[in-house]
Amino acid sequence: MSAVRKDQATSATAAPAPLPRPWQSIQPHAAMPELSHDERVRFNVVAAMNHFLAQRLLPRVREAAARDVEPALEARLGRPAADRHEYRRELEKNLTWRLWSRLRRSTMELRQQAGRLTVLRQLPELVSTSRDLLKDSGVSLTLDPAMTPPRYLTSLPSHLMPGGYVTDLVDGDVTAGASYEIGLYATLGGQSGPASDRAGRATVAWLREHRPDWRPRRILDLGCGIGANTLVLAQAFPDAEVVAVDAGAPMLRYAAARTAALGGGEHIRFVQADAERLALDEAPFDLVLSLMVLHETSRPALQHIFATSFQQLAPGGLAFHLEQPPYRDKPLIEQCLRDWDGRYNNESFWSSLHDTDLVACMREAGFAAQHVHETTANAAIGDAAPGVQGQEDYGRGGAWYVVVGEKPAVQTN
């Protein structure tokens, strides 16, 4: 006879969450670094540690917050915490929070070191392979060596990647892009899918649902990174001209080579430029996107990027900015847990973005009030169900928030 009756089972004894998919679930391609047995396993282990921290230790942090942190706060203040910043200052005294935070920071640093060493040991080959792949591929790459990268990309390189997206270690460097792609798995546990393109798939799914017969002729992807999401868009709209912009040369070189290696993106032009002040001397775009980009920028940059999306948009076009859901009425402990990446994982604008009224920002950028709205997007990946709104794992589980702006075909004013 079971000692624990079924109705007594608690969340601590409920069936464990599915394990992370193995690293080799990532779709290989000719531009990607080769990983030895131990290098693959090391990423698996970092993903396993993240899984352990999220599934085993994080519930204890929540318990400690309710049991110890909140009563201590109320005793000290004579009231509950007014906001997540006040709450966090008390939470930071808690041992369980400290341990969870310490180990989480360590796994982030382990990912970066592991990815970087894997790339550096084969960098000369990766550089020449990426050049060879691009030759005669049809994929276009235009770099601007004179470009000054935005300060938010250099002062706090996102998710602790040394040198960030913009540092060239050698001539023709692809380190940032290559390290980003192989390491992303370890942080997301494979949740971004075999081609790290879940946000792009969610975007295509949204467009199919909301604009079923629409065929954008020109697409602009702002902050394209390794171009994984760009490729999904390009494959969904094979007749469109696609321009993908990023500030980082080593990201773009890798993106272009990756696109050439995987195929189906021969109509993409990768362009190094600052999305805040984009001067493209060409026709406007029917679809302007930014996918999980804004949280790595800054408040002024956000406004400039929205302005770019308005300026570059053709009449009848759609601006589509996908991000993590705002905090709004989430409990303060949940806000603090989600804020962790902003404070400790170099996601420079993560915390304040969650308080920013993106609809108001879009209006300020020029979109008419009645043509801006909020929506959600998600996508199933393989055997994994689509993300569930409200149950997202810090916006990583594939349940996203989107602010959409439309430019009417005929201006009404």
Partner 1 sequence: MSLERDLLAMATEPAAGPRPQFFDDPAMDRVWDVLAALTAELAVTRTRLNSLERVLAEHDCLPAGVVDGWVADDEAARDQAQAHQEMLMRVFRGLLQDAAAKQ
Which residues contact partner 1 (rule: CB under 8 A)? 37-38, 41-42, 44-46, 48-49, 92, 97-99, 101-103, 105-107, 109-110, 112-113, 116-117, 120-121, 123-124, 127-128, 154-157, 160-164, 169-171, 343-344, 346
Decide: 290 and 264 in contact? Cβ < 8 Å. no
- Judged by beta carbon, residue 116 or residue 407, the one nearer partner 1 is 116
- Judged by beta carbon, residue 92 or residue 282, the one nearer partner 1 is 92
Residue 403: enclosing H or E segment and its boundaries? strand 399-406
- Judged by beta carbon, residue 23 or residue 206, the one nearer partner 1 is 23
For residue 113, what are its two tokens?
Answer: 């070191």
- Judged by beta carbon, residue 112 or residue 312, the one nearer partner 1 is 112
Give dist(CA 100, CA 96) in Å, integer.
6
For residue 136, CA distances in Å to 132, 139, 177, 228, 257 come to 9, 8, 21, 20, 11
Q: Mapping DSSP to helix (H, G, I), strand (E, B) and coil, where does residue 43 land? A: helix
Decide: 137 and 266 in contact? Cβ < 8 Å. yes
- Judged by beta carbon, residue 169 or residue 314, the one nearer partner 1 is 169
- Judged by beta carbon, residue 3 or residue 95, the one nearer partner 1 is 95
Give dist(CA 376, CA 140) in Å, integer.
32
Beta bridge partners, 279, equal none
Residues 240-268 as b or e (16 or more Cβ within 10 Å = b): bbbbbbbbbbbbbbbbbbbbbbbeebebb
Give dist(CA 266, CA 57) in Å, integer.
46
Provide, rounded to whole angstroms, the least separation between the CB of residue 333 and partner 1.
17
Provide, rounded to whole angstroms, the least separation between the CB of residue 166 and partner 1.
11
Residue 166 is given by DSSP the state T
Q: Mapping DSSP to helix (H, G, I), strand (E, B) and coil, where does residue 40 land? A: helix
What's the distance, CA 177 to chain centroid?
14
Provide, rounded to whole angstroms, the least separation between the CB of residue 119 and partner 1.
8
The CA-based angle 67-68-74, given to 5 degrees, is 105
Provide, rounded to whole angstroms, the least separation between the CB of residue 159 and partner 1.
8
The CA-based angle 341-347-351, given to 5 degrees, is 70
Decide: 43 and 183 in contact? Cβ < 8 Å. yes
For residue 241, what are its two tokens?
Answer: 């001209």
Query: Looking up tokens 């004894």, which residue turns up?
Result: 13
Give dist(CA 379, CA 399) in Å, integer.
8
Provide, rounded to whole angstroms, the least separation between the CB of residue 67 and partner 1.
20
- Judged by beta carbon, residue 164 or residue 387, the one nearer partner 1 is 164
Provide, rounded to whole angstroms, the least separation between the CB of residue 29 and partner 1.
22
Provide, rounded to whole angstroms, the least separation between the CB of residue 212 and partner 1.
43
Provide, rounded to whole angstroms, the least separation between the CB of residue 95 and partner 1.
9
Provide, rounded to whole angstroms, the least separation between the CB of residue 152 and partner 1.
11
Give dist(CA 18, CA 20) in Å, integer.
7
Provide, rounded to whole angstroms, the least separation between the CB of residue 327 and partner 1.
21
Residue 317: enclosing H or E segment and its boundaries? strand 313-323
- Judged by beta carbon, residue 110 or residue 307, the one nearer partner 1 is 110
- Judged by beta carbon, residue 103 or residue 143, the one nearer partner 1 is 103
- Judged by beta carbon, residue 105 or residue 269, the one nearer partner 1 is 105
Q: What is the 3-state secondary structure (H, E, C) of 358-395?
A: HHHHHHHCCCCHHHEEEEEEECCECCECCCCCCCCCCC
Residue 384 is given by DSSP the state B
